[in-house]
Structure 1
Amino acid sequence: MKNKDIQIRDPFVLPDPAAGKYYLFGSTDANIWGPGTGFDAYAGDNLDDWEGPFPVFRPPAGFYSDTNFWAPEVYAVGGRYYMFATFRRKDNGRLGTAVLAADGPLGPFAPHSPAPVTPESWTSLDGSLYTDESGRPWMVFCHEWQQIGDGEVCAVRLSADLKEAEGELVTLFRASEAPWTTPFVSPRYPDTVNYVTDGPFLFRGPSGSLYMLWASFIDNTYALGVARSESGDVLGPWIHQPEALYRNDGGHGMVFRAFDGRLLLTIHAPNRTPEERPLFMEIEERDGRIGLAEI
């Protein structure tokens, strides 16, 4: 399959240099806004040609969600593979990020955390694993705008086994604090001022600076921005780049190192179902900022 053949949102690439394979995960239900069937993945030795789809997760009997299976991110930790993914709970209808686990990158993944590790009373999504320089795992996630109006990016420490949250929740920033975002006008909430946070992802630039990708809207068009931690730590403070990195109706990105050494960004674009496709772009660090590579 080619990229143009793969309908996917929230793409996430796990490179496996030893095997010479890239594994592509994402929200893969044809209608991700409705009942969910699980997650599929793709494998390839380049970023143009893919094998699959491979069914890497199907919910077992009694699973706590049957709708809105979103944004799987897969990490290799201690010889196993852990998937952070968002589900809508059956018991209270709220979104939350849970952790699944498998022995291989193509699964099958099974529930690892007993339930979503985000707060039960919050509508939360897009949890992303970050390991600090002391080796402690954190989850960075969004407290959704639909619940609070001005969406937040939050962080919480996780237990060493990645099964539950530990310690105090910290709000890193609100969507309206970034200079590039504008209010999101939703037909469902026409009388409120909303700012969206989506898809946080942390990575180190070549200089060692800690950056975060996250998505929002500019004039109701999906866009991707970048913030930099002034302290170099997950708790920030986070300084936003004044302009969006990508503003052409695409976002929810992550960054990975290609086998040829390039630093690559992947996003989905356009932000319309069923037209969304994976898009890959080279990025670079210039003067303390992240930008698209100059070709």
Structure 2
Amino acid sequence: MPGKPLIGRDTRLCMSLSARPGNFGTRFHNRLYELTGLDYLYKSFSTTDLPAAIGGIRALSIRGCAISMPFKEAVIPLLDGLGPTAAAIDSVNTIVNDDGRLTGHNTDYAAVVALIAGIDPATRFVLRGSGGMAKAVAAALRDSGFRDGMIVARNEAAGRALAEPYGFDWSAEPTETAPLIVNVTPLGMTGADADALAFPVAMIDACDVALDAVQYPPETPLLREARLRGKRCITGTEIAVLQALEQFILYTGVRPDPAQVEDAAAFARANS
């Protein structure tokens, strides 16, 4: 294993901003820095002053920043430009700082495209959520050939704003069964929503595949119920690994080998 340089004045800093910071990304990135011998350090943060935080990224030459809920859309006016994936869906989960110019990207999109590649695009889906991550997932579904879908969101304006540009249906509540069900809300996330089931049991019974974008905990109530019924599950942790890998490449210009990625993912899962 390459020796990671001691932290010093030349160490490059990367970070994350989230309402509920977790350890997965921090562990994953720092483990990959160790495995590849890069002089980088990664640290997670929360903030109640997003403009000041983004200004700090620019002022302190922080190389990159992961963006999580609830900042994925609010951060856009604070940036200098958007990469193609972020521009297409108006949602940012990654900022890259090139000598003070901040560019937003969306690596969630690429991760979801990879994970749904084996599902027949003729499959009907029901997606619950309407925020920044929901935009990434809906765009990934649309661009992967899925045309028959429903967006579930209590806020009609937000739900229709996501559904209609992609030609999907909208509903205020999840009532219709579908072979593919997708949760992109905080339901099931550690905290106040930890015990919430994102879909009724009848919908879980009827599905073939359950995708839950919630990262913490790795086994949400939705995934637990789906596994009990023998359904295929796509987890938030799987999304987290693939999107974090793409972030790592954007920040460092280095593509780790598969063994290094698996090592870092296992380390992050065990220590999160």
TM-score, normalised with respect to structure 1:
0.29
Q: Which has the higher helix share?
A: 2
For normalisation by structure 2, the TM-score amounts to: 0.30
Higher relative contact order (CA 8 A, sep 6+): 2
Which has the larger Rg? 2
